[in-house]
Structure 1
Amino acid sequence: MLYAIYCIDKPDSMDLRMAHRPAHIEYLKAREDRILVGGAQLGEDGEAMLGSVLIIDAPDAAAARAFADDDPFAKAGLFESVRITRWRKAFFNPAVAG
């Protein structure tokens, strides 16, 4: 089953994000077989990182929550909020992967 994980950073947390980014990337690379897509949520300037979005394959909501909770960003207290929902692919166009 696919789950979308929407994470919003706490205000003024760029230093915390950058300090834990290498561990976050390694965590995701070690689990890339479960990740459909993922990346940072950006401000309109295309630079400011506001949070993260991941769509992962997990057997159930508890496993999706565990995936999110074990992320080094989450363990470091980066996120103001984390929302996890079931997700169903309706359209997918890899050519638009700008």
Structure 2
Amino acid sequence: MLFAFLCTDKPGHLNVRMENRPAHVEWLNGLNAAGTLKIAGPFLDGDGKPCGSLVIVKAETIEDAKTLSADDPYAKAGLFEKVEIRPYNWTFNNPEA
């Protein structure tokens, strides 16, 4: 099953995002190599600067998805104000369909 992580950065924490970006990208690369990562990228504010993240992963259960989300270096660094994890059905343009 797929799960979407809808992550909202804390206001004024762009520096935390940038300082932890290399570790975050390494974490995403690991998920990708394992076949777990489906989609990932930042949300942008009105100035085109990152202000959150969308990550879609494959996991057996929502508990597994929560564990994956908690392992994100951004989460560990306290970047996010809020993280919502929701089951996701990739209907259109899914290369695996």
> TM-score of the superposition, structure 2-length normalised?
0.91
- Partner residue, 2:13: 13
Query: What does 1:1-98 align with in structure 2 at a 5 Å threshold?
Result: 1-32=1-32, 33-45=35-47, 47-92=48-93
- State the 4+ residue runs in structure 1 displaced beyond 4 angstroms: none
2-structure distance, mates of 1:20, 1:13: 11
5+ long unaligned stretches in structure 2: none
Q: CA deviation at 1:93?
A: 6.9
Secondary structure of the residue aligned to 1:30 is helix
Per-residue CA distance 1:7-45 (angstroms, 9 max, x = gap): 000000010100000000001101112111110001233
Q: CA deviation at 1:91?
A: 1.0
CA RMSD of aligned residues (A): 1.3
Secondary structure of the residue aligned to 2:27 is helix
2-structure distance, mates of 1:93, 1:7: 22
The aligned length equals: 93
1-structure distance, mates of 2:64, 2:78: 20
2-structure distance, mates of 1:89, 1:16: 31
2-structure distance, mates of 1:73, 1:54: 12
2-structure distance, mates of 1:37, 1:16: 22
> TM-score of the superposition, structure 1-length normalised?
0.90
1-structure distance, mates of 2:90, 2:76: 29
Identity across matched positions, percent: 41
